[in-house]
Amino acid sequence: MSRRSLLLAAASLAAAAGPLAGTARATGRTPKVLVIGLDGALLSRIKDADAPHLDALMAAGLTAPSSIYANPLAPTMSGPGWSTLITGVWPDKHNVKDNAFTGHRFDRYPDFLTRIETAKPSLTTYAVSSWAPITDTVFSAKADTRVSTPSAEYDTGTTARAVAQLRDGDPDAMFVQLDNIDHAGHSDGAASQAYLDAIHTADAQVGQMVKAVESRPAHADEDWLIMVTTDHGHTDAGGHGGSTLPERQTFLIATGAALAPGTVRHDVKMPDVAASALAHLGIAIDPAWNLDGRPVQQPQPDDFDALRPRLTARTDETGIPASLLGYTHTPPPGWSVDNSAMGTGGVTEWRGWSFTTDEFWTQAQRDQQRESNLRARGVFAVADGDEWHDKAVTGTFDSTLVSPAHPVTGGGTATLTYTTYYRHESPQKGEVLVSYDDGTPVTVRTYTADVPSRTETVTLNVPAGARTARVLFRYTGTNNWFWVIDGVRLSRS
C-alpha cells in the first residue's frame, strides 16, 4: 500500500469512529493500551524521513510536540526521560537524575503497569525493551512479564517479541522500547542520513506492531489506545544531555476512539502517557498519587492557550529563531495587564507581563533555570525582569496581570488554583491579590523566595455581599529573575 493510501485509510477509520463517541465504556469494547517508545527520536526528523506508518498514525489521531527539563533538575538523558514517561511524574518527584537510577522513588511513584496490576490484577501487562534498565529497573516485578532483549538481537528481537505477544497473547497494557534511533543519533548525528534511515527502520517495526493489533481475531471488539513517544531529542551533531531545544524535544503520537484525526495539540507533556493509559483502562487517578500527568482524552481548556494564533516573532531578542512565533502582550478576553507603574525601555518581548511558550522563552537565555518550568503547559504568562533588563531601561519592573471577574458567593469560600514557577532575587517580589466587586485588592499570597514549579491552592474567605472576584498577579523588581503563571481557576467552594 502506498504512503497516501495508508494516510487516507487511517484517517478514514478514525473519522468513522468519531472523536468521542467510540469509547470502550460506550460501546462495550475491551480497552487495551500499546505504548511504543522510540529512544532519542525527533518529531521534526520523523516528518523528514520515509516513515509511512508513523505518518498514518499522525493522520489518524493526535500529534503533540512538547519539551522537557534540563539541569539542574535532570539532564536530558534516558534514565530521567523514560522514568517520567512511565511513572507519570517529573524528575523532582521520581528523583531519577541519570542512567544509574540512584535514589529513585519508584516505591512512591511506581510505573503505570504496576498501578494497573494494583488496581485491576486480572489485566495482563507486558513490557519489552532494547535498553535493559527500563524493564530491569523502571518497571517493577508486579508487571506480568518484563523482557530485556539480548543485545545481539537489539530492536529486531524486541519487535519480534512484541509482535508475537500482540498476535498470540492477550495483553491489556503493553510497553515497547526501540533503541536504534538513539544509537544512530550518537554515532552520526540527528542531521545525518543514518538517523533518517534508523527512523525508517523503526517506522517499519512500528508498522509490524500496528498490523499485529489490527490482525487480532478479537480486534473488532477491542478499543486500542496506541501511543508513540520518546524520552529526549538529539543535536544535529549527535548527543544529548544538555539544555538546547533539540535535546529537550519530545512528542506524543496517539490514536484512539477519543482522539480526533489529524489533531495537533500543544498542551501535552511527557507524564501524560502514563495517565492516559490508566484512564483508558478505566482506572481512576487517585489525587493521592500526586501524578503530574493528565489524560490526553480529557483536555482542560486554558485561557492563555487560546492566544496561540496571536503569537508573533521576536522583536529585540537575538538568540530566538526569527521564524518562531512565541510571544504576545495581548491578553485573552476578560484579562488585562496593568503597566501604569512599569518602567520604560528594555527588551520589548518582556516589557510587563507577556504570554509566551517554552520553546520561545527558554531560548531567550539558556541555563538560567527557565527549563525547570515543568508544569506550565502550552501558552503561559511570564514576568521576566532579568530579560527585560538586557536593554537600557528607566524605572523598575512593576506589572500586574488581572483576571476576569469570577462569580463568588458572599459570606462563603472560593478556591483559587494556579500553576506557578518563581525564581527570586531581592528586591523582587511576587504578590497574589484578590479584588471583590472591583474594590481594593487584598493580598492572599506573597513570594519572596524561590518556588519550584507547582500548582498552588488558596482558599478565599469571601466577604459578605460580594458577588465577583478578580485575581491580580503583581511582579515588582529590577534586574532580577522571573515569575510564571498558568492554569488560573477560581471556583466557588
pLDDT digits (tens, 9 = 90+) for 214-247: 999 999 999 999 999 999 999 999 999 999 999 9
Helix (H, G, I), strand (E, B) or coil at 358: helix
Residue 296 lies in a domain: no
Q: Within this chain, do residues 316 and 225 fall inside the same structural domain, yes or no? A: no
Domain end (from 289, 319, 343): 289
Residue 264 lies in a domain: yes
Q: Within this chain, do residues 186 and 316 fall inside the same structural domain, yes or no? A: no
Residue 299 lies in a domain: no
Grid coordinates 537600557 are at which residue? 392
Q: Residue 386 belongs to a domain with what CATH number?
A: 2.60.120.260
Residue 295 lies in a domain: no
Domain end (from 261, 289, 317): 289
Q: Within this chain, do residues 349 and 277 fall inside the same structural domain, yes or no? A: no
| 38 in Cβ contact with 202 (< 8 Å) | yes
The whole-chain average pLDDT of the chain stands at 94
Q: Which domain holds residue 28?
A: 3-289
When pLDDT is cut at 50, 70 and 90, the band that residue 26 belongs to is low
Helical residues (DSSP H) of 290-445, grouped into ranges: 358-361, 385-388
- What's the length of the chain? 493
Res 10 pLDDT > 60: no
Of the candidates 343, 472, 485, 328, the one whose C-alpha atom is nearest the C-alpha of residue 400 is: 472
Q: Within this chain, do residues 56 and 176 fall inside the same structural domain, yes or no? A: yes
Q: Residue 207 belongs to a domain with what CATH number?
A: 3.40.720.10
Q: Report the pLDDT value the prediction gives residue 27, as an integer from 0 to 100.
A: 61
User: CA-CA-CA-CA torsion for 14, 17, 23, 29, nearest 10 degrees?
Assistant: -100
The pTM of this model reads 0.93
Residue 298 lies in a domain: no
When pLDDT is cut at 50, 70 and 90, the band that residue 15 belongs to is very low
Between the alpha carbon of residue 345 and those of residues 35, 313, 348, 351, 411, the distances in Å are: 50, 19, 7, 8, 44
Q: Within this chain, do residues 262 and 328 fall inside the same structural domain, yes or no? A: no
Residue 232 lies in a domain: yes
Q: What is the mean pLDDT of residues 417-437?
A: 97
Q: Within this chain, do residues 223 and 347 fall inside the same structural domain, yes or no? A: no
Res 134 pLDDT > 70: yes
Q: Within this chain, do residues 86 and 187 fall inside the same structural domain, yes or no? A: yes
Grid coordinates 479584588 are at which residue? 435
What pLDDT digit, counting tens, does each position of 96-113 carry? Answer: 999 999 999 999 999 999
DSSP per-residue codes, 233-289: ---SSS--SSSSHHHHEEEEEEE-TTS-TTEE-SS--TTHHHHHHHHHTT----GGG
Count of domains observed in the chain = 2
| 88 in Cβ contact with 293 (< 8 Å) | yes
Residue 95 lies in a domain: yes
